């Protein structure tokens, strides 16, 4: 009995002190541990049928994209600067970070972009007058731009992305990146610019419906392009 009372007298202030210390540490650490988050799909998984099937969309978003986000967050401990950078700013400084950040940070930005530049068939609108003017100036016509884009997408060996970008000089260009790289990254060998439209040509993006027929996926995908979002990105570039 006496021992128990003595123990309580001793431990209560100690526990209170520890709790206060923990609260102070958590308050100090909270901003440095802000995680990256998986954005929800802006439409139902089946909304892009028949061009992209619901199963592909679900696996692509809920597993592939979710894994890039989780793996990027797992890098925050070893790379505390990550907690101070938003996802887009990170792309421009990616050379300062290890490959795990490059692959997963790129994967997170690329897919966040990808969901928004697609819309259900018939709901994507059309290129704005200013965008069409810029496309015509750089490629001659919308069809020529699409032909160049298709060639870059089909010609990317292995996994990667095809892009329509606005270059720093104001002209538009088609480019392609490997793996989860993108045109915002400050890496040698990357043609840099503001991405207006990016297409995922990893097999996980199309294999269930198109198997090895990547060109068929690319051709069908134009029916999904959300020109309203591409117009917005062009106006903001």
CB 32 within 8 A of CB 80: yes
Q: Which residues contact 94 (CB under 8 A, 6 or more apart)?
A: 101, 102, 105, 106, 185, 186, 187
Is 200 a binder of Mn ion (CB under 5 A)? yes
Measured from the CB atom, is 181 or 200 closer to Mn ion? 200
Q: What are phi and psi of 167, to 5 degrees?
A: -80, 160
3 state SS for 18-54: HHHHHHHHHHHHHHHHCCCCCCCCCCCCCCCCCCCCH
Span near Mn ion by CB under 5 A; candidates 24-32, 97-105, 135-143, 193-201: 193-201
Measured from the CB atom, is 57 or 174 closer to Mn ion? 57
Span near Mn ion by CB under 5 A; candidates 72-80, 97-105, 169-177, 203-211: 203-211
Question: Judging by beta carbons within 10 Å of its beta carbon (0-12, 13-18, 19+), is residue 203 exposed, middle or buried?
Answer: middle
Residue nearest to Mn ion (CB): 200
Alpha carbons within 13 A on the beta-carbon side of 118: 28
* Residues between 30 and 89 with contacts to Mn ion, criterion CB under 5 A: none
Measured from the CB atom, is 66 or 76 closer to Mn ion? 66
Measured from the CB atom, is 42 or 168 closer to Mn ion? 42
CA 37 from centre of chain = 11
Task: Using alpha carbons, list the distances in angstroms from residue 35 to 65, 72, 104, 121, 129.
Answer: 15, 9, 13, 34, 39
Residue of the chain from 36, 68, 109, 202 that contacts Mn ion (CB under 5 A): 202
Span near Mn ion by CB under 5 A; candidates 16-24, 34-42, 87-95, 196-204: 196-204
Q: Shortest Cβ distance from residue 95 to Mn ion (Å)?
A: 23
Is 221 a binder of Mn ion (CB under 5 A)? no
Q: Shortest Cβ distance from residue 130 to Mn ion (Å)?
A: 30
Q: Show the site string, 149-188: x = touches Mn ion by CB under 5 A, - = not.
A: ----------------------------------------
Span near Mn ion by CB under 5 A; candidates 11-19, 22-30, 202-210, 213-221: 202-210
Peptide bond into 141 cis (omega under 30): no
Is 229 a binder of Mn ion (CB under 5 A)? no
Number of residues this chain uses to bind Mn ion (CB under 5 A): 3
Q: Shortest Cβ distance from residue 202 to Mn ion (Å)?
A: 5
Span near Mn ion by CB under 5 A; candidates 95-103, 172-180, 198-206, 229-237: 198-206
Helical spans, DSSP H, in the chain: 2-29, 54-58, 66-73, 87-92, 99-116, 129-139, 142-155, 207-210, 214-221, 227-236
Q: Which residues bind Mn ion (CB under 5 A)?
A: 200, 202, 205
């Amino acid at each position: 009995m006496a021992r128990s009372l003595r123990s309580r007298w001793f431990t209560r202030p100690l526990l209170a002190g520890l709790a206060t210390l923990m609260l102070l540490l958590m308050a100090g650490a909270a901003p440095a541990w802000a995680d990256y988050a998986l954005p929800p799909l802006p439409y139902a998984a089946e909304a892009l049928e028949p061009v992209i099937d619901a199963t592909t969309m679900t696996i692509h978003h809920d597993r592939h994209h979710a894994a890039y986000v989780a793996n990027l967050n797992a890098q925050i401990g070893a790379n505390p600067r990550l907690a101070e950078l938003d996802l887009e700013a990170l792309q421009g400084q990616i050379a300062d970070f290890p490959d795990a950040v490059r692959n997963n940070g790129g994967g997170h930005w690329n897919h966040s972009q990808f969901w928004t530049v697609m819309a259900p068939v018939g709901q994507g609108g059309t290129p704005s007058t200013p965008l069409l003017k810029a496309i015509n100036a750089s490629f001659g016509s919308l069809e020529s731009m699409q032909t160049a884009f298709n060639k870059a997408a089909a010609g990317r060996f292995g996994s990667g992305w095809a892009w329509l970008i606005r270059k720093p000089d104001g002209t538009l260009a088609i480019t392609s990146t490997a793996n989860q790289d993108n045109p915002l990254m400050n890496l040698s060998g990357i043609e840099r610019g503001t991405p207006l439209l990016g297409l995922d040509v990893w097999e996980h993006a199309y294999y269930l419906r198109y198997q090895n027929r990547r060109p068929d996926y690319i051709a069908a995908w134009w029916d999904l392009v959300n020109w309203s979002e591409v117009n917005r990105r062009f106006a903001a570039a």
